[in-house]
Structure 1
Amino acid sequence: MSKSGKPKGRWGDLRRRMISAAIMLSVGAIEVWLGGVPFALLVIGLTGLMLWELARMTAPQRTLPNILVGLLASAILTGVLSFVFREEMMLALAALVLAPAAGLLGPRRDRRIFFTYGTALMVAGAGLVMLREEGGSVAILWLILVVVTSDVMGYFAGRSLGGPKFWPAVSPNKTWSGTIAGWLGAAIVGLGFSIAAGAGWGLIILSPVIALAGQLGDIVESWIKRRSGVKDSSSLIPGHGGVLDRFDALTGAVLAVLVLGMLGDLPLPAMGN
């Protein structure tokens, strides 16, 4: 404890992380429950911030206010289009047109990374809004719990058990023990929803698949940060880093739901509010 009475070191950082997490959980829960325009606006805002963080990491200079407006406009337009027009063709058109348009607004070191990952972020953001509209709050709750449970169980199992690394060249901290524990945690979430929400037993199999997609989303963002020479995507969230650092796994999970949903009907939880 410092002379001023404020916590120091990792305990001070833990306090900031807990406060930030509590705020994010509270706001997120309210927005998921409300759905509709409030939820869409939250997703649009988060997508815009993630695009801004991506622009900072992939451009020659870290401060790029000249393209911030374009990036936010792209996120807003994509979100609005996904909210008003729910056909997959409109979603794909919005992403393919707006992502390169935003990328051309300023010079950048990694145009292909920005184009590809920026498109993925916008598709995931629009897809999340569509999932809330069509699947209800229960489907969103299932998706978030799969990602969070996989992340938490993977973290503690990896720290406790250790073992071989999952992908050391890209994400040296991830282990196979943590990865498998994350899959098991996701399966437990799937089991709970299959019983409580009448989703069917297929959700027990689907949940670990979505968890794997979330883990890969985290690895992709780690690779971009490593390539860009940064520890965090930004410092927007006290104790947590950037918005991308918190929602990279959710991005991968949403994309997996979209792709699998195009291939066939998914055993998602029953329609909710």
Structure 2
Amino acid sequence: MNELTVRSIAGVAMIAITLATAWVGGMVFAVFVAALATAVYWEWSRIVTGWNIGWKIAGFFYCLVPALALLWIRDRYEFGFDLLVWVFIVTWATDIGGYAFGKTWGRNKLAPTISPNKTWEGLIGGMVAAGILGGLWALSRGLDPMLYWLGAPMAVAAQMGDLFESGMKRRAGVKDSGNLLPGHGGVFDRVDGLLVVATAVGLAVYMGWL
């Protein structure tokens, strides 16, 4: 089985598990989120081995806050599941759109010293995909009209999360945050953008903006 097939199967499985636990909600989703946060913190701790202790302390909160945000969205928001799916759609669309556009038209490097494969064309593609798919989902589910256009800015936020993790890995001299996910590296590699988007949307819900 080639790498692309393994990566595709693993990706579909991860999406299915994520959506299923989000749909069930309650303790099932809480345990799932806690497991993700724990895995990310374990990988974060491995990356920053030998760094200042402040990195491990910061990592604890970098994992905790998005986890609480996801649970807050699911349980406290009137359309919790639908908004969670919006968060997932925007994050996944950023990755997929960015990869497709970058692979096809990518010429101009976005942050060559941090992540040489990232391009401005990929970022734009991710923003377009996140904006369109996020907007369509929000419209179809009757979510806050603000979400019709918020997908594109959130794609930028997701990309910033990706670049932040890439910068950590480059400093540590590692390619992936771990090897828990076949064809995808570590858990941190897969949710680096989601951590930022979840935090931003969770804050918006908490503040009453959504």
Question: What TM-score do you get using the length of structure 1 for normalisation?
Answer: 0.72
1:63 alignment counterpart:
none
Distance in 1, matches of 2:143 and 2:64, equals: 28
Task: After the TM superposition, list the runs of 4 or more consecutive aligned residues in structure 1 that deviate by more than 6 angstroms.
Answer: none
Aligned partner of residue 115 in structure 1, secondary structure = helix
1:132 alignment counterpart:
74
Q: Deviations over 1:151-174 (max 9, x none)?
A: 101111011111211122212211
Q: Is the Cα contact below 8 Å between 1:120 and 1:255 reproduced in 2?
A: no
Cα distance, 1:112–1:154 mapped onto 2, change above 3 Å: same
Aligned partner of residue 149 in structure 2, secondary structure = helix
- For residue 30 of structure 1, what is the amino acid of its counterpart? A
* Bigger shift: residues 197-206 or 135-144: 197-206
| 2:202 matches 1:212 | no
| 2:138 matches 1:194 | yes
Choose the corresponding residue for 2:47, options 34, 42, 57.
Answer: 57
1:224 alignment counterpart:
168
Choose the corresponding residue for 2:61, options 119, 142, 154.
Answer: 119
Q: Is the Cα contact below 8 Å between 1:153 and 1:178 reproduced in 2?
A: yes
Distance in 2, matches of 1:152 and 1:207, equals: 14
Aligned partner of residue 245 in structure 1, secondary structure = helix
Distance in 1, matches of 2:15 and 2:206, equals: 30
Choose the corresponding residue for 1:162, options 106, 122, 132.
Answer: 106
Distance in 1, matches of 2:83 and 2:102, equals: 28
1:67 alignment counterpart:
none
Aligned partner of residue 119 in structure 1, secondary structure = helix
- The residue correspondences of 1:227-246 to structure 2 (distance < 5 A) are 227-246=171-190
1:64 alignment counterpart:
none
Shift of 1:262: 5.2
Distance in 2, matches of 1:30 and 1:215, equals: 26
- For residue 196 of structure 2, what is the amino acid of its counterpart? G
| 2:32 matches 1:42 | yes
Give aligned pairs, total.
208
1:257 alignment counterpart:
201
Q: Is the Cα contact below 8 Å between 2:86 and 2:138 reproduced in 1?
A: no
Q: Is the Cα contact below 8 Å between 1:215 and 1:252 reproduced in 2?
A: no
Q: Is the Cα contact below 8 Å between 1:127 and 1:258 reproduced in 2?
A: yes
Aligned partner of residue 146 in structure 1, secondary structure = helix
Q: Deviations over 1:204-252 (max 9, x none)?
A: 2211121111111111111111111110011111111001011111001
The answer for unaligned runs of 5 or more in structure 2 is none
Q: Deviations over 1:167-206 (max 9, x none)?
A: 2221221111110111111111232123211224321221
Cα distance, 1:158–1:29 mapped onto 2, change above 3 Å: same
- The residue correspondences of 1:60-79 to structure 2 (distance < 5 A) are 60=50
Question: What TM-score do you get using the length of structure 2 for normalisation?
Answer: 0.92
- The residue correspondences of 1:91-110 to structure 2 (distance < 5 A) are 109-110=51-52
From the CA coordinates, give the structure whose radius of gyration is larger: 1
* Bigger shift: residues 35-44 or 156-165: 156-165
- For residue 40 of structure 1, what is the amino acid of its counterpart? A
Q: Is the Cα contact below 8 Å between 2:69 and 2:203 reproduced in 1?
A: no
Q: Deviations over 1:16-63 (max 9, x none)?
A: 212222321221121011001100000001111111111111113xxx
2:15 alignment counterpart:
25
Q: Which has the higher contact order (CA 8 A, sep 6+)?
A: 2
Distance in 1, matches of 2:145 and 2:134, equals: 8
The answer for unaligned runs of 5 or more in structure 1 is 1-6, 61-108, 267-273
